[in-house]
Amino acid sequence: MTSDKHGWPLYEVFVRGKRGLNHVHVGSLHAADDTMALTHARDLYTRRNEGVSIWVVRSEHIAASTRDEKDPFFAPSADKVYRHPTFYDIPDDVPHI
Amino acid sequence: MSDDHVYMSLAEGHEDNARWAYGTGFEDPLHGVSTAVPDGVDRAELAELCLALADDALVSAQRLGEWTTRAPELEEEVALANIGLDLLGQARLLYARCGQVDGTGRGEDAYAYFRDADDFRNVTLAELPNGDFAFSMARLLVLASWRLAHFELLAGSADPVLAAIAAKGVKELTYHRQYAAEWVVRLGDGTEESHRRMQAGLDQVVPCLAELSAAHDAGEAVLAVLAQVTEAAGLSLADVPAAAAGAGRRGEHTEHLAPLLAELQSVARAHPEATW
Amino acid sequence: MTQAGPPSADDAPPELQKHFDDTIARDQRIEPRDWMPDGYRRTLIRQVAQHAHSEIIGMQPEGEWITRAPSLRRKAILFAKVQDEAGHGLYLYSAAETLGAERADLTERLIEGRQKYSSIFNYPTLSFADVGVIGWFVDGAAICNQVPLCRSSYGPYARAMVRICKEESFHQRQGYELLMTMMRGTDAQREMVQDAVNRWWWPSLMMFGPPDDSSPNSARSMAWKIKRHSNDELRQRFVDMTVPQAEKLGVTLPDPELRWNEERGRHDFGTPDWDELMRVIKGDGPCNTERIERRRAAHEEGAWVREAATAHAAKQAARAKKGAAA
């Protein structure tokens, strides 16, 4: 991925809201590196709540199972969290908001 | 539904609302702290100190507020606002304390909105225009490191209110310093352009250390941070000037403070009888 | 609703289409890796992106008052609110990215005018009362729109909405509370509030979109459970919710046709100027150019910062590799 064109890479964020709970996936964000990802995650997803534990991981480093392993459609993408199509051409016509 | 359940369990972990920037459930840093001024504390000196520290914070928060909708990335919008909100919070607590001890009984807004530039006691570094992101980060690094060193001392203040405000501020300022340091390193090390801008920003900020040291001598603390950060960033650190009596603390400001205050105070002064 | 049956398949393998249709029919969520019809994906990307853009552009009209807020308490509240909007934009871009869109690409589309945002943010904020009225009307309308979206069929969007709705309710309350305070203040303040109400009422009603009979995509989005209620139904809810709040506040909503209809058990109200809505959507609102230009400037002026961070990360990674090899 050439970052200049695509911006900073995507990270997935997992937060443990309090002791005794598992880390839970809360969303994603963009950051140039792990340090920045943790800083951003703390700012965005915990509003800097002290005592919260955060994990961040590059989205592309997560391997994911498919919901239906027999489904041949998923075989090529079984190693991605999302089925990232290379490009989705979104129609730009005027919508209703 | 089970997916909601997992999600909601996270939300429930924060039921105190502490993670929301505002709303209910703020932790009051002064809860249980007596507001009586202890014997042996000089009220005039305490008021003067609170006012100066409050002005530094308010003017800095105003500049950070100007970044809103102009930050280089959306994640930085959130981060800069967090820092601005922390400083605004510090300013409010310090103005309130000032009003309790200076004998006037004024509230926070009287200090913020109804004083003129030559009544403000902030250091002039805080009032300089934002410049580019590099200058803003150099300034934040220096101001946060300097204020942090001061607050660490003040956490042991004889005045319990100031001590409590400072103790809360130490946590915040540690984060501000870290945020700024990370950016100074990134920009110093990043590209040719960012290196050039970062060096220029730093060169503009370093001379202001003279005024900062005169206002509060943070000893080696600020210099140690600057030395460490500039080395990691591949930046050069200009000669740090000796302390020179600060203009801002005497109410002598650059031409930039008056317009900043004119904007900050415009609505409040247009409706002096109003309640908000 | 007139449309019968599920949306048409885009030449989908029948068993995948059936699995998708059954999931929707059972009111379960579609998740990122599930097969979904291309039309569903495209419609969602467009809807979520527009929603994200609206949050980000929506920071501007209120953001202009952060530096001028007339008390430190109001300043802190407004600062935090505008910050929340940046956060909401990020949650929503994050949801859009699970569909295969890239934020950088969506941002390009926004600043090139190829994707839209809510028309309401193309109106100017002329006094501090506008901050209160935006909280009351615009965030109130957003809540009407968004609470049903917490049950949207697309999981990441629905979850983002749960988080956002929690914060929006704070926003609406703070707006209304500001207006109540101002109504208890001076005559000039009361006039400011009424003036702001007059200016924002009709644009707020337009936030729900054109009337159902001229909203071509609505039926399909409702069949897919991406949208849960029609534009007109949501608009009616908003009016019914707002009228008693206006009475309590002591302001007049600027609609001579507004009255309680005993028979329907709901309020009758006038027709918004749909030509105006179309003009604003097409780019001829009072502030369209200004809003996009600000966003473009921030994006372009920030490019060197984003590039520097990327370059630093690459250098760090290379250094770490070299260090490990040595």
- What is the token pair recorded at A12? 């997935």
CATH superfamily of C14-325: Ferritin, core subunit, four-helix bundle (1.20.1260.10)
Asked if C42's CB is within 8 angstroms of A97's CB, the reply is no
Strand, coil or helix: what is B149?
helix
Query: Is residue B209 scored above 60 in pLDDT?
Result: yes
Is the pLDDT assigned to residue B228 strictly greater than 90?
A: yes
> Chain A within 8 Å of B21 (Cβ-Cβ)?
yes
pLDDT at residue A70 in the model? 46
pLDDT band at C12 (very low <50, low <70, confident <90, very high): low
Number of H helices, E strands in chain A: 2, 3
> Could you tell me which residues come within 8 angstroms of residue B180 by beta carbon, excluding any fewer than 6 positions away?
B137, B138, B140, B141, B144
Max mean pLDDT among A39-43, B68-72, C4-8 falls in: B68-72
The predicted structure's pLDDT at residue B200: 98
pLDDT of residue A80: 58
Say what the pLDDT of residue B32 is.
Answer: 86
Q: Which of B78-82, C58-62, C114-118, C226-230 has the lowest average pLDDT? A: C226-230
Examine the pLDDT at B21 and tell me if it is beyond 50.
Answer: no
Handedness of CA C123, C124, C129, C134 (dihedral sign): positive
Residue C46: which of C112, C108, C85, C99 has the closest Cα? C99
- Please state, in angstroms and as integers, the Cα–Cα distance from residue A1 to each residue in B12, B120, C103, following that order: 37, 51, 14
Between C243 and A91, the more confident residue is C243
Asked if the Cβ–Cβ distance from C100 to A77 is below 8 Å, we say no
Model confidence pLDDT, tens digit, residues C180-204: 999 999 999 999 999 999 999 999 9
For B238-261, what is the mean pLDDT?
90
Min Cα distance C283 → chain B (Å) is 20
Chain C partners within 8 Å of A29 (Cβ)? 90, 94
What is the pLDDT, as a whole number, of residue C70? 98
pTM of the model: 0.90
CB C62 within 8 A of CB C125: yes
Nearest CA in chain A to C46: A90
Residue C163's pLDDT is 87
CA distance B216 to C67: 28
What's the CATH architecture for A10-83?
Roll (3.10)
Residues of chain A with pLDDT under 50: 1-4, 68-78, 84-91, 93-97
Q: CA-based Rg of chain B, rounded to a whole angstrom?
A: 20
pLDDT tens for C80-97 read 999 999 999 999 999 999
Q: How does B230-240 read in b/e, with b if 16+ C-beta sit within 10 Å?
A: beebebeeeee
**Domain B6-16+41-270, CATH among 1.20.1260.10, 3.90.1010.10, 1.10.3720.10, 3.40.50.920:** 1.20.1260.10
B23 versus C249: which is more confidently predicted?
Answer: C249
Neighbours of chain B (3+ CB pairs under 8 A): A, C
Q: Residue C160: pLDDT above 90? A: yes
Angular region, A50: left φ>0, alpha ψ -120 to 50, beta rest: beta
Structure confidence by residue, pLDDT tens digits, C254-266: 999 999 999 999 9
Domain ranges, ordered by start, for chain A: 10-83
Q: What is the pLDDT of residue A66?
A: 61
The better pLDDT of the pair B129, C11 is held by B129
* Structural element, H or E, at residue C266: strand C266-268
Contact between B88 and C312 using a beta-carbon 8 Å cutoff: no
Longest CA–CA separation in chain C, Å: 84
C169 near B CB under 8 A: no
In this prediction, residue A74 carries a pLDDT of 44
Cα–Cα distance measured from residue C107 to residue C52, given in angstroms and rounded to the nearest whole number: 10
Higher pLDDT, B22 or B178: B178
CA distance A55 to chain C (A): 17
The whole-number pLDDT of residue B3 equals 32
Average pLDDT, integer, range C156-162: 93
Work out how many CB contacts closer than 8 A connect A with B.
54
Apex CA B70: angle with CA A32 and CA B238, to 5°?
Answer: 70
Q: Indicate the pairing of strand A53-58 with strand A10-16.
A: antiparallel
Distance from CA of B263 to the nearest CA of A (A): 28
